[in-house]
Amino acid sequence: MSSQRTPWVGGNWKCNGSAEKNAALLDGLNAGNLPEGVDIVVSPAALHLLDVQSKLRPEVTVASQNCYHKDGAFTGEISVSMLVDAGINTTLLGHSERRHVFGESDELLTLKTKAVQEANINLVACVGEQLEDRDRNLTMEVVNKQLQAFADGITNWSSVVIAYEPVWAIGTGRVASPEQ
């Protein structure tokens, strides 16, 4: 017997948003005719997580953009246990900016993944290659390595969505074809 995954649509607000801008987005989402049978997820900046969650219609999931695998003296981080306490049940991990701007390693992502899984938080596992990797035909090698870091920490695949982003297509003027 095969099972079919529910279609999933997510919006990462990245390091954007203000009370005013978020209110406009929330008005649109709350008034919109959202399709049935689709999981819809928004990921506001950490500062706005609880406000967005309190104002957004309940069938839309609010996810954090990142989390840290343990509590303690980690300035600026949000721990897995903090997400649980706040009622945030989904998080992104491994987004390209986290990897390439903040230097997150595959080893760290495995630790975060294990902590997320242990806390029964849904995981959006982000993967994707940069332009240099694509031009050198390393797409599969890079993405497989990223996926392995997640796989090393996953015990429950039913709580995981894999999000592929062709990082090489951001701001380069090059567009991914349907085949890619």
Q: Which residues pair with 41 in a beta bridge?
A: 10, 61
What are the residues whose beta carbons fall under 8 Å from the beta carbon of 109, sequence distance 6 or more?
Answer: 93, 94, 146, 149, 150, 153
Q: Which of 48, 95, 104, 129 is catalytic?
A: 95
Write the CA distances from 55 to 48, 51, 52, 66, 72, integer angstroms.
11, 6, 5, 21, 30
Question: Is 165 labeled as catalytic in the residue annotation?
Answer: yes
- The DSSP line for 67-86 is -BSS-SS-TT--BHHHHHHH
CA distance 115 to 68: 8
- Catalytic, 95? Answer yes
Q: Residues with catalytic annotation? A: 95, 165
